[in-house]
Amino acid sequence: MTPTGQAGATQLLQEAARVLVVRSDDLGDNVMASGFPGAVARSVGGSCGFIGPPSAVDIMDLGDLDFVAGIDCRPGHRRDVLGAGRRVRAEVARFDPDLVLLPRFGFEREALGIALVGPRPPRTITWVREATPKRRRRDWWLPLLPGPRLPAEGAPLHEFGRLQHFARFIGIDPDHIGPALAVPDLAVPEVAESAGPLVAVAIGAAQGRRWWPLDRYAAVIDALADSGCTVVLLGAPDEVDRGRSLRDRLAGGTSVVDLIGRIPLRQTVAVIDRCALFLGNDSGLGHVAAAVSTPAVIISCHPTGAPADHVNAPERYRPVGGPSVVIRPASPTSARCADGCVPVDEACCITRVPVDEVLAACRTLMTDPGPVANHGR
């Protein structure tokens, strides 16, 4: 019989020969949870492994683990869940765990992959179906996985708080699971001899609704450059054109170091670690900045007063680690956005975030980051 409850979860963890942590969510989520796999490895007597997206695996500090697999198992469409599950299954089978930890709730592709391993799936510790509305709608896979279920009662709203809640449930000290990135000692010639404080600016995000307008970024960059800062633009290869458009909007005397699409993620982490400030949209790089204790100003599309449990709400996903401040729209642009900014492919509520508020937050964090540490406005 599979043990149940908190005592059963702790017992399973201590008795397991091979424990596998599975997280196939986005970069920012993995950065927040980057210290969790190592904390598990240091708390068990057996082997410990981790499955996550390649981008996260490349920058997380996973030195205590015996098995690491980076796979892109996010389905492009709901019809692709089976294929994503099979990709997870192949990696799970390589490690052959007797216990799997699913500290997130709602991603059935991981569960499907685990359930498809052999005639007897490994025992799995995860959340009850009532943990989120999404899980209640798609919980068909839960009965496939034997193991204790973490109750939602008492869990904090913020995702990192929920991870701490999960850690307590399995008998791990929640204070030992803070972000843990492997910051490489990589030289970046373009910023090696900067004339003033380095400010990293990331203009991209996974969805268009999270893109603050480029002309406003240009106004902030002009002001920071006038005060003696060296601005470094960071981003993915698919953001090169937006970076070029941003440069066209800068004042005539403003120059920036444009590294968008030119350096890999590991080198990007090294640059952010050297910076005095990070400025960007609600994206994975903002979480990287907080994880390496670089003060971060994050521009959110989620308007004040919108539901705190929304996928874009700072109350759920504000960066953790170093000092940060989240600037959000004072009001939605329409009644439809009152429950959270709706358009996926274009900036909407985020256009109501003013330049002067962002610039003031940047200057405050650069001079005295303490008072605004981890504060969402």
The residue-averaged pLDDT of 186-215 equals: 88
Share of the chain above pLDDT 90, in %: 63
**pLDDT tens per residue, range 35-64:** 999 999 999 989 999 998 899 999 999 999
Exposure class string for 25-41: b at 16+ Cβ within 10 A, else e: bbbbbbbbbbbbbbbbb
**pLDDT tens per residue, range 287-316:** 999 999 999 999 999 999 999 988 899 999
Question: Taking the alpha carbons of 66, 67, 70, 72 in that order, is the dihedral positive or negative?
Answer: negative
The residue-averaged pLDDT of 335-350 equals: 88
Q: Which residue has the tokens 């990192």?
A: 160
**Higher pLDDT, residue 138 or 187:** 187
**Closest to 143 in 3D by CA, of 331, 344, 2:** 2
Least confident of 74-78, 339-343, 348-352: 74-78
The residue-averaged pLDDT of 85-110 equals: 81
Q: How confident is the model at residue 76 (pLDDT cuts 50, 70, 90)?
A: low
The residue-averaged pLDDT of 310-327 equals: 93
72 contacts 54 by C-beta, under 8 angstroms: yes
pLDDT at res. 146: 87
**pLDDT tens per residue, range 222-280:** 999 999 999 999 999 999 999 999 999 999 889 899 999 999 999 999 999 999 999 99
**pLDDT tens per residue, range 149-200:** 888 888 899 999 999 999 999 999 999 999 999 998 877 777 877 778 999 9
Does residue 78 register a pLDDT over 50? yes
- The whole-angstrom separation of Cα 268 and Cα 276 is 14
Name all domains of the chain by residue range, CATH numbers in brackets: 5-176 (3.40.50.2000), 189-376 (3.40.50.2000)
Burial of 290 (0-12, 13-18, 19+ CB in 10 A): buried
Does residue 372 register a pLDDT over 70? no
Burial of 174 (0-12, 13-18, 19+ CB in 10 A): middle
pLDDT at res. 25: 79
Starting from the edge strand earliest in sequence, which strands make up the sheet with 99-101, in order? 67-70, 47-52, 18-22, 99-101, 123-127, 149-150
The residue-averaged pLDDT of 98-109 equals: 78
